[in-house]
Structure 1
Amino acid sequence: MNATIAQVVTAATGWSSAQFQVQLRPPLTIQSNNLYDVMGPGPRLIAKEYLNKDELPAAPTREFLSLQLLAPYNIAPQPRFFDLAEGPIVLYEFMNGEMWPEQSPTPAMLTGLAESWLTMRRLGSDGLWASRGLETLPQIVVNTGKRLQTYLEWAEGQIGVTTAFAAESRHLLQRAATAHEKLTARPILHYFCRSDPRFANLIHRPDGRVGMVDWEDAGLHDPAYAIAGFFGHANQEHLLTATDRAVFMAAYRAGLAADEDPELPARVALYERLLSVAWLALLLGAGCNRPDQRDWQVHHMPVNAKLHRFRARALSDSYAEFEQKLMTLEPIPFFPT
């Protein structure tokens, strides 16, 4: 048994080491933490051990504060213990329910998600902290430009990779910069938001609510950013349609006052433009560091197909235009096949 985890469990529950078992869940390659199932005489617990020193102490602190903030609302795990002096470990109760499957969500699921996000919005902002996404947003255009340049320099020396993307990349970077400028010029009210929108972090609760796990990046941000991030994330953008987006937006806006946040749809569109270029650049930059891209798939899709989708998104100002460009854009062989 992991001695540090055992010490935290005992400190939180009063159980002796003979009263509980700790089992490590097999970690995914993208994880910067270890998750442990803790089985004892009380409710099933999860111990989350943070491994990346660059994330300390912010990540576990944000997670535990988020769980405490949301404890009354049944949309996040119940917090049990965190003391950095005992280690970068957050202990919370296992959240019953089913993880969202990797398939198109139903209207009821999307409506439930909108209701959970509205619950967070109603918490206001007084005394709360910035999300990780809000802290990093000012650098997104700079980082996107660097990644595009890295790819273009790499592509010049490759056989079977076109350099025709160079001019278009400048156009896309300008679109991203313009979107960012328009967003920063607007007065934006920040509310409590999640910053990791993947389906894997969404839980269909037994009472019908949509719960969420993994709160280490949560905090104050523009809800429009969270909405754009959910519908444009590389893990799931191919599973979400214009109809899905309309269902979610209708449910979310129905929970707002008649005159509340009238610019929300416009900001969502600007963030979608910004994030689509950022995702395109992120994947291009990541591909340059791979020894062989031929069998590389991004969430069960060949990388060039996924890049084609993000390129179409980045060049579009609406879902209708995106769907049209998917069909008409000449594909670019970004990486060898």
Structure 2
Amino acid sequence: MAAGRCTHSLDIRDDVVVKRYTSWERGEPRREWAALTLLAEHAPDLAPAPVEATLEAHPPMIVMSRLPGRILRGEHATGEQLTAMAAALNRLHQIPAEVVRAVEPAPWGPATAVDKTRAWADKQPDLGDNPLVQEAFRAGVAWLASTAPDQLVTNPLPPVLGLADGNHANLLWDDHEGRVRLIDWEDSGRSDRAFELGEITEHISRHDGALDAEQLLACIDLAPGEAERVRDFRRLIALGWFLQLGPDGPATPHNPVGTLERQAERVLQLLS
């Protein structure tokens, strides 16, 4: 979870996209190239195909195929788009676990999310004096103090390859083929599927348009008991963004006026 972080520039050509990294201290080029290479073998055409990489250059660069379509951020996702999104996620999460176990962990995952969200809450950020916002803060602090977040850290299910970034700008809708592809793999790695679903349903980009989380999740092949973990990860992710939306919060400059109040409503809804 990062607010307003830009790590690259794109040169979009007729048939390829050239991605040059402006920062790479977390191994972003290496992570992205590894993910694209793995996806080309195990889930071809779900993501851009890797073409060429100069990972040791300054700046590092990756060349990948250009995919058709438009990003879903800022749109009101239709039923057809939600079904296609679920199909893409199901396909991604069906990559064999023995393959995924060889992938390094994503830098943003359950343990980090729990620790950071609790740390943000402990700082008691200035969220203003709106009664709804204050109610959401109190409810969120109480939930973070419970044992529920700690139970999210250990994954009882096989790992998945994850984007580790729920930004809806990473969802590419192909209107001609009626399918969704996934882009921007620089934060990717071995992950927890329930966490990934929490990310995509509760990322702050949801306020740019509309995405019916319940309808999307109804199309996902969840394992027994996994729905409860998804619910709690949704609570965690929503709280994390909420705590960054105060007047001086890192997420505030990148979101329209009223986002804090809308996020407070979301937190209370998820915690009810």
User: TM-score band, normalised by the shorter chain?
Assistant: 0.7 to 0.9
Identity %: 22
State the AA in 1 paired with 2:143. Answer: R
Secondary structure of the residue aligned to 1:69 is helix
Give the corresponding residue for 1:245. 213
Give 1:124 deviation, angstroms.
Answer: 2.1
State the AA in 1 paired with 2:12. Answer: D
Task: Establish whether residue 217 from structure 1 lines up as the match of residue 187 from structure 2.
Answer: yes
Partners of 2:23 and 2:228 in 1: how far apart? 36
The one-character-per-residue Cα deviations of 1:256-278 (angstroms, maximum 9, x if unpaired) are: 6xxxx111211111001111211
State the AA in 1 paired with 2:81. Answer: M
Give the corresponding residue for 2:167. 198
Partners of 1:309 and 1:115 in 2: how far apart? 29
Give the corresponding residue for 2:262. 309
Secondary structure of the residue aligned to 2:205 is coil
Query: For structure 1, which runs of at least 5 residues remain unmatched after alignment?
Result: 1-28, 156-160, 322-337
Aligned pairs (5 A) from 1:90-109: 90-100=62-72, 102-109=74-81
The alignment of Structure 1 onto Structure 2 pairs a total of residues equal to 260
Partners of 2:5 and 2:56 in 1: how far apart? 26
For normalisation by structure 1, the TM-score amounts to 0.68
Give the corresponding residue for 1:113. 85
Give 1:34 deviation, angstroms.
Answer: 1.2
**Retained in 1: the 8 A contact 2:204–2:241?**
yes
Partners of 1:102 and 1:49 in 2: how far apart? 25
CA gap of 1:198–1:215, structure 2 versus 1, over 3 A, is: same
For normalisation by structure 2, the TM-score amounts to 0.82
Give 1:145 deviation, angstroms.
Answer: 3.7
**Retained in 2: the 8 A contact 1:144–1:173?**
no
Task: Establish whether residue 278 from structure 1 lines up as the match of residue 240 from structure 2.
Answer: yes
Task: Establish whether residue 36 from structure 1 lines up as the match of residue 11 from structure 2.
Answer: yes
Partners of 1:163 and 1:148 in 2: how far apart? 17
Give the corresponding residue for 2:37. 68
Partners of 2:153 and 2:73 in 1: how far apart? 35
Give 1:170 deviation, angstroms.
Answer: 5.3
CA-atom RMSD, angstroms?
2.9
Query: For structure 2, which runs of at least 5 residues remain unmatched after alignment?
Result: none
**Structure with the higher helix share, 1 or 2:** 1
Partners of 1:168 and 1:67 in 2: how far apart? 39
Partners of 1:203 and 1:240 in 2: how far apart? 15
Give the corresponding residue for 2:142. 174
Partners of 1:221 and 1:119 in 2: how far apart? 15
Give 1:251 deviation, angstroms.
Answer: 1.7
Task: Establish whether residue 143 from structure 1 lines up as the match of residue 116 from structure 2.
Answer: yes
